[in-house]
Structure 1
Amino acid sequence: MFVEKHGYLVTRHVRDVNGQIEMSLFIKTPEGTVKVLPDRQLSVFFSNAPLSFFYSCDRTVPIKGVSWAECAYRSFQHEPVVMVQSHSLMLHQQMVKFVKSAGYSVFEEDIKASNRYLMERHIRGSVRFIGEPDASQQTFRQARLIAGDWQPEWRVWSLDIETSVSTNTLLSIGVVARDQRVVFVVSSSSHTLFDASTTVVCYPDEKSLLLAFMNYVKQYSPDIFIGWNLIGFDLHFIDQRCQSLGLRPAFGVGGESWTIRSSENQGKYFATIPGRVALDGITLLKVGGYHFESYSLNNVSKEILNEGKLLQGSERWQEIERLHQEDLPAFVAYNLQDCDLVLRIFDKLKLIELQQTRVDLTGIPLEQTGGAVAAFENQYLPRLHKAGWVAPAWRDEDFVASPGGFVMSSRPGLYKNVLVFDFKSLYPSIIRTFYIDPLARIVAEDVSSHTASQVFSSNTSDLVPGFLGANFARHQAILPELVTELANAREAAKREGNSILSYAIKIIMNSFYGVLGSNVCRFYHAELASSITMRGHELLERTKCWMEEKGAQVIYGDTDSLFVRLPDDPIKTPEQQGNNLRDDINRRLSQWCRDYAGLDSQLELEFERIYERFFMPTIRGTDEGSKKRYAGKSKGKLVFKGLEAARTDWTPLARQFQRTLFEKVFNDENPIGFIQDTIDQLRAGAFDNQLVYSKQLSRPLSAYTKNKPPHVRAAAMIDQRRAEQGLPLEYNKGRQRVSYLYQSRGVVPFESDEDLVDLDYEHYIEKQLEPIAESVLPFFNTNMTNLLSQQFSLL
């Protein structure tokens, strides 16, 4: 008997079972997560090989489990294509190889069967399905699915482990959820209760602990694991210990094994857990557009929650091991607090809601935090198929980078009342206005050459000019329509106060340019991305000219923004002038688009802000204006872009020095006394705790073979000491931050306040304070050489 249910897609999996494709969809329902096996299990690709090719091959050696048929689609080369369906993944791969070896092209052969099945049915997250349940009601076969509207309440576990660095073993696993707090500990203690709300369960060894934790996961069945560096550390470590102890990591909903894998060239880790999802806090913060000097849990929790970890510092592993042996309640408290901090950060920033919103909009898997290309294809391919086309084949050709965003040379100086204008969603607006689209480009080529006039209108007025020789057929464009739908949905989300939805739509729309300009996307073509960026250049240059016609002085421009000085007006305020200039430019843009190609402008220039005071520096050592570097004060708030105060690789002293310096300059105070006093205090040791550099390794330490900058040398010193002590290396994976400072003998790693001795103060004056001070001292008719020589004469 078939049963109908609604739910939300958690994970998707495809494999061959007994020579047949098994597509497993794990779906969370109101009653729990179940396994759903769709009724139509096929793997599909397309080819320009004629039907006669397949029939002739089949007559020679019958091909079982594969079918082929003509379809209504065409390739981007305007050829008819054949659809090839296979009953197993192995047959699919063999057929792809077979067709390619005969010299024919294949299309969409890399799309997973489960992704195609869901994409064609417009299923993204929420689903409705009808299937035949087994006796346990946990597996539904012969199921049919359609898109649904049910929204789940996720069962979320914040997970954190503690390990012994000296023995490379697991000490504990902590779990915090809204209704439970539990710690599994390797200990001979008899603790079973920590406090009224926390359970502590002790086990004699790792194996017993891991088996108990697997049973606990199965019993209480979380939907989502969250943590900090969750997959790359916690789950990876648990997986390694399972392998070492001969245990199968049975963490799936039905006791299936998980898979923890890494991408060696990128240093990323991925987790596949049937029916469950692992989401890492650091990754989701970056997806959400959050920026921190350090993404350590201690730093982020201090900034977001105003609360840090119980143990801090590079030697905390020693204290963790001591607490585990001598003070189990304190050890448990430390483990649980990490779980608490992560859960509270996720809740406060609504990170799971953001991820689910991305799924609802694009259909990417719930566990996939990246995937801009996949998100694009999930939205674009169904529309492309509906229009009668298949996606282009992957091309082995040289990558041609499109020009970057517009950046004009600046006019350096210290200014008052600088107005900032920027284009609202510039690249998506260009796509909408000028019909930038992969299919529209192909159709336009054909219209221009009149090679398929029997299929397409050859009316060239349908074409919109692009760049690098491209044109776009406005009546065949898919992407502008998609962007318009997203833009309208974003405006609705703004009106409703749904900031999560608004932001999710924004990052999706803004990703389209990057996707079209990336050779990891099958739709990549240099003409597409260049027709976006070069149009942006043209629009910024045109807008600059229009502004200058109105008497404005454009002192800088960057990507979608212009920084403008207007002549003083005794009647109108700067804000009134800015509003008038914005309205005039938008009228001109609309008229220019109509005159250019009969286009309706979707371009909108916004008047973003006024900097009451603004500073644009020169390139150090020259008179030329810099780019992407400035400081300003707007409504009492200091803003730094690209300068030392905004850079985490400069010392805290330098960054605070610059902030205070510009406070004084922007308040029309002479900063010379402040500079001299700062130098005196530095030499007197008043700022020793602000002289620590911090910089991230971009790759594993062993990869630095030729050039070894200071942070690399400091990391090497730490790892050398650890190796001598028989401890695991700390910097062998890359992407870790290194703290260091300069003593009289040179670079040394910073590990504790005991390292703040024999500091090279002259290094900090020359390399940290002097470059910052020199940027403003010419406005006060002096320089650092004069200031330092005056101080020297007073000694």
Structure 2
Amino acid sequence: MYVEKHGYIVSRHTRDVGGQIEMSLFVKTAEGTVKVVPDRQLCVFFTEATLSDLPQHVAGVQCMESSFLSFAHKPVVLVQSKSLALHQQMLHFVKQKGFPVFEEDIKAHNRYLMERKIRGSVRFIGIPDASGQVFREARVIAGDWHPAWTVWSLDIETSVSTNTLLSIGITAADQRVAFVVTDQVATSTVVERFPDEKSLLLAFIRYVKKHSPDIFIGWNLIGFDLHFIDQRCQALGIRPAFGVNGESWNIRSSDNQGKYFASIPGRVALDGITLLKVGGYHFESYSLNNVSKEILDDGKLLQGGERWQEIERLHKEDLDAFVAYNLQDCDLVLRIFDALKLIELQQTRVDLTGIPFEQTGGAVAAFENLYLPRLHTSGWVAPAWSDEEFVASPGGFVMSSIPGLYKNVLVFDFKSLYPSIIRTFHVDPLARIIAKQEVAKQETAQHLPTHLDNDSISAVPLVPGYLGAHFHRQSAILPELVSELAQAREGAKQSSNSILSYAIKIIMNSFYGVLGSNVCRFYHAELASSITMRGHELLAKTQVWMEERGAKVIYGDTDSLFVTLNNDQEDPHQHGKLLCEQINACLSLWCQEYAQLDSHLELEFERVYERFFMPTIRGQEEGSKKRYAGKSAGEMVFKGLEAARTDWTPLARQFQRTLFEKIFNDENPVAFVEETIAKLRSGKYDNQLVYSKQLSRPLSSYSKNTPPHVRAAAMIDQKRAEQGLPLEYNKGRKRVQYIYQRSGVVPYESEKDLVDLDYEHYIEKQIEPIADSLLPIFKTSMANLLSQQFSLL
């Protein structure tokens, strides 16, 4: 008997069972998470081969003509297989025959959901088994059910010296427990004690099955915690049955860069660091301690690079303190997720695009989920992966600046420039290939030149692009999609739904990057270049229009222009608003004159910098790019300068901040510079002289060039190897702290290392470059100040 339910997709999976494909959706319902197995499951691809080119009467395979066309304007055949194995065999056969294949890599479960416009929430009807946990022959459609997630914050503690698991901590709204390998007696009631790792892991598996969490969260959760648990399960012969109904999880690495992914039937693992970056948050360090201090004004109970030694001591000698440390980390993660609404952000992305819940990246997947159903409706299949050489599109518009110290600098931004260009100029993969065919027809029929000029555009519905591209305005899919998202974002803003607004912004802004990346099947140099080069043109025209109206553009970057007024007596705010209105009118008129286009371009007046400084390129007279400082409504803003860079010392960054505060307040900074040098040499700034820089790749890959942070990391790992400890930097992607003593670079591990510091190095490399960008304004330089100090000695 069929039963109907409402729910939300937690995870999706496809595998072969008994020679047939089994697609399973794990769906959270009001009664719990169940496995839903839809009916009519098939693996699909398309090919330009004809029916006669394909093998006939293969059991489990069906080939049929379709109404679709390829991007080569050729009809395609649909090939359906009842198993993954048959799907691969048919692909191999067709490719061996030399025919192109299309959409062959789209997973069956993703295609099933995408074609039905199912995102997260569903309504399904199926036949339940005796346990009520599995629904077969199910029919699934989009729904509107909103889940209340059971979220567990998970953190483990390990022994560095023995590479074993010491504990697993869990905190949630109604859960707080630590599973610990110990023979100590704990006073805390939250401790579950076990004699060995195997007993702990088996008990934890039972605990997960009993309480059935929906989402695991943590800090470097997959790459460390879950990966370590998985390794210990393998070493101890334990099946990692952490999924719903005891199904096994799969923790895998995608490359040699240390990136890990988790597939857990019926559950989701979300990493806090990754979601912070998805959410647009920026921190000097993404360590849990640093982020929790900034967001929560709280931190870890133990700190420092060698805290593993204290952790192991507490595990042996003070169980309550050890458990408190473990659970504090869980609490911090849970509170950060709650404060920043990170799960709500991820669910919103799922609701908008249909990406799998566990996929925190996925710009290409999001694009395809939104674009492919519309493409199929138009009668086309997606293009094959191209073997053409990748051609990077030009970057954003960046003009050379006019350096100097300014008052009242106006900043103008194009609102969502690249999405607006897509909407206005009909930039679209399908529109490009239809226009290409139209151009060929016109050239053949009328002997037109290769490039259609504006006079000939009226004869055909084409919009010129760049690199020879044109776009067929009636066939474009992407502009309509961008328009829908833009309208939804305006609605989100009006209802003060900041998370929805930001999620839509992420999606719209990703379209340019997707079209310009060869990891996307729709990539073509003409597409991305028709966006960025159009941006160049628009900013150049805007500069001309502004200067025709008495403003002077001193800098431009991607979608922004920095402007000064010739008349210091004008109210900059009023003039900025007026100038913005005039430029938007110019844009609308130009779009109509250019190709009878309705402009969706909108220039916004963002802010006024009461004081503003644009430096020169170091050691040159030419103005710099992407580097400036300003003061707006009392707020100090630094872009690209040392004060905003985490690889400069705290002293240098604070020195630059104070220096600009004085200059923007019309104070002479010379005395401050001299005082800083004197205090530095006297040792008063020792604790502000620590460098911190991230390793971008494994330590062993730095062979030709070994910068200071690499040398420091190598020293630490050499010391650990001598002590028989696991290496810390062999996988890379880890921040290194170091200092300069008079003997050279040394790692910084604690304040005891702050001895025999090379103060002259810090003056030359940290103070002097910053000061010399400003001191010429006051007719002096660091060389003059240092020589004066030297003469007084």
Contact 2:257 2:731 in 1 (8 A): no
CA 1:482–1:452 in 2, change beyond 3 Å: closer, same or farther? farther
1-side partners of 2:185 and 2:62: how far apart? 64
Matched to 1:470, the amino acid is A
User: Shift of residue 190 of structure 1?
Assistant: 3.8
Contact 1:324 1:331 in 2 (8 A): yes
Contact 1:447 1:459 in 2 (8 A): no
Matched to 2:39, the amino acid is D
User: Shift of residue 189 of structure 1?
Assistant: 2.4
In the alignment, which of 267, 276, 279 is matched to residue 285 of structure 1? 276
Matched to 1:532, the amino acid is I
2-side partners of 1:783 and 1:175: how far apart? 58
Contact 1:450 1:458 in 2 (8 A): no
Contact 2:457 2:463 in 1 (8 A): no
The reply on whether 1:153 has 2:151 as its aligned counterpart is no
The reply on whether 1:34 has 2:28 as its aligned counterpart is no
Contact 2:314 2:321 in 1 (8 A): yes
1-side partners of 2:738 and 2:72: how far apart? 58
Report the counterpart of residue 515 of structure 1 in structure 2. 514
User: Shift of residue 446 of structure 1?
Assistant: 1.1
CA 1:452–1:105 in 2, change beyond 3 Å: closer, same or farther? farther
Report the counterpart of residue 483 of structure 2 in structure 1. 484
2-side partners of 1:693 and 1:316: how far apart? 20
Deviations 1:37-84 (Å, cap 9, x if unpaired)?
Answer: 001110000111112222xx32xxx41110011111111111111111
In the alignment, which of 417, 420, 444 is matched to residue 411 of structure 2? 420
Deviations 1:568-614 (Å, cap 9, x if unpaired)?
Answer: 254x4110110110000000000000110000000000000000000
Matched to 1:150, the amino acid is W
Deviations 1:185-219 (Å, cap 9, x if unpaired)?
Answer: 0011243x615xxx211000000000000000000
Matched to 2:101, the amino acid is V
* 1:621-660 equivalence runs, <5 A: 621-660=619-658
Matched to 2:695, the amino acid is L
Contact 1:644 1:654 in 2 (8 A): yes
Matched to 2:36, the amino acid is V
Task: Report SS of the residue matched to 2:245.
Answer: coil
Report the counterpart of residue 262 of structure 1 in structure 2. 253
* 1:76-475 equivalence runs, <5 A: 76-191=71-186, 194-195=188-189, 199-450=190-441, 460-475=459-474
Report the counterpart of residue 495 of structure 1 in structure 2. 494
User: Shift of residue 567 of structure 1?
Assistant: 1.5
Cα root mean square deviation, aligned = 1.3
Deviations 1:9-41 (Å, cap 9, x if unpaired)?
Answer: 010000111110000110000000000000111
2-side partners of 1:694 and 1:205: how far apart? 38
1-side partners of 2:252 and 2:154: how far apart? 19
Deviations 1:539-572 (Å, cap 9, x if unpaired)?
Answer: 00000001111111100000000000011254x4
1-side partners of 2:269 and 2:443: how far apart? 50
- Aligned residues with identical type, % of pairs: 77
CA 1:374–1:568 in 2, change beyond 3 Å: closer, same or farther? same
Q: Which runs of 5+ in 1 are unaligned?
A: none
Report the counterpart of residue 751 of structure 1 in structure 2. 749
Report the counterpart of residue 7 of structure 2 in structure 1. 7
2-side partners of 1:41 and 1:429: how far apart? 39
2-side partners of 1:3 and 1:675: how far apart? 77
Matched to 2:163, the amino acid is N
2-side partners of 1:29 and 1:150: how far apart? 9
Task: Report SS of the residue matched to 2:563.
Answer: strand
Report the counterpart of residue 766 of structure 2 in structure 1. 768
Matched to 1:507, the amino acid is I
Matched to 1:783, the amino acid is S
2-side partners of 1:621 and 1:446: how far apart? 53
User: Shift of residue 267 of structure 1?
Assistant: 2.1
The reply on whether 1:671 has 2:673 as its aligned counterpart is no
2-side partners of 1:231 and 1:562: how far apart? 42
Task: Report SS of the residue matched to 2:67.
Answer: strand
User: Shift of residue 180 of structure 1?
Assistant: 1.2
Task: Report SS of the residue matched to 2:613.
Answer: strand
TM-score, reference length from structure 2: 0.98
1-side partners of 2:258 and 2:537: how far apart? 39
1-side partners of 2:166 and 2:694: how far apart? 29
Task: Report SS of the residue matched to 1:747.
Answer: strand
Contact 1:125 1:359 in 2 (8 A): yes
Task: Report SS of the residue matched to 1:408.
Answer: coil
User: Shift of residue 452 of structure 1?
Assistant: 12
Contact 2:7 2:145 in 1 (8 A): yes
Report the counterpart of residue 777 of structure 1 in structure 2. 775
User: Shift of residue 327 of structure 1?
Assistant: 0.6
Q: Where do 4+ consecutive residues of structure 1 move more than 6 Å?
A: 451-454
1-side partners of 2:400 and 2:240: how far apart? 57
Task: Report SS of the residue matched to 2:232.
Answer: helix
In the alignment, which of 694, 697, 700 is matched to residue 695 of structure 2? 697
Matched to 2:149, the amino acid is W
User: Shift of residue 451 of structure 1?
Assistant: 8.3
The reply on whether 1:69 has 2:68 as its aligned counterpart is no
Contact 1:615 1:631 in 2 (8 A): yes
Contact 1:447 1:458 in 2 (8 A): no
Matched to 1:511, the amino acid is S
TM-score, reference length from structure 1: 0.97
User: Shift of residue 459 of structure 1?
Assistant: 7.4
2-side partners of 1:690 and 1:623: how far apart? 31
Report the counterpart of residue 449 of structure 2 in structure 1. none
2-side partners of 1:784 and 1:86: how far apart? 74
Task: Report SS of the residue matched to 2:474.
Answer: helix
Report the counterpart of residue 706 of structure 1 in structure 2. 704
Contact 2:2 2:127 in 1 (8 A): yes
User: Shift of residue 449 of structure 1?
Assistant: 1.3
Deviations 1:256-279 (Å, cap 9, x if unpaired)?
Answer: 111111122332100010000000
Task: Report SS of the residue matched to 1:392.
Answer: coil
Deviations 1:83-128 (Å, cap 9, x if unpaired)?
Answer: 1100001111111111111111111001000000000100010000
User: Shift of residue 376 of structure 1?
Assistant: 0.2
CA 1:204–1:673 in 2, change beyond 3 Å: closer, same or farther? same
Matched to 2:155, the amino acid is D
CA 1:458–1:754 in 2, change beyond 3 Å: closer, same or farther? closer
Kindly tell me the number of residue pairs found equivalent between the two proteins: 783
Deviations 1:213-264 (Å, cap 9, x if unpaired)?
Answer: 0000000000000000000000000001111111111101011111111122
CA 1:29–1:453 in 2, change beyond 3 Å: closer, same or farther? farther
CA 1:291–1:429 in 2, change beyond 3 Å: closer, same or farther? same
Contact 1:447 1:460 in 2 (8 A): no
The worse-fitting range, judged by mean Cα deviation, of 62-71 and 119-128 is 62-71
Matched to 2:188, the amino acid is F
CA 1:157–1:561 in 2, change beyond 3 Å: closer, same or farther? same
Task: Report SS of the residue matched to 1:410.
Answer: coil
CA 1:591–1:451 in 2, change beyond 3 Å: closer, same or farther? closer
Matched to 2:126, the amino acid is G
1-side partners of 2:459 and 2:110: how far apart? 38
Task: Report SS of the residue matched to 2:546.
Answer: helix
Contact 1:418 1:613 in 2 (8 A): yes
Matched to 2:84, the amino acid is L
Report the counterpart of residue 718 of structure 1 in structure 2. 716
Task: Report SS of the residue matched to 1:475.
Answer: coil
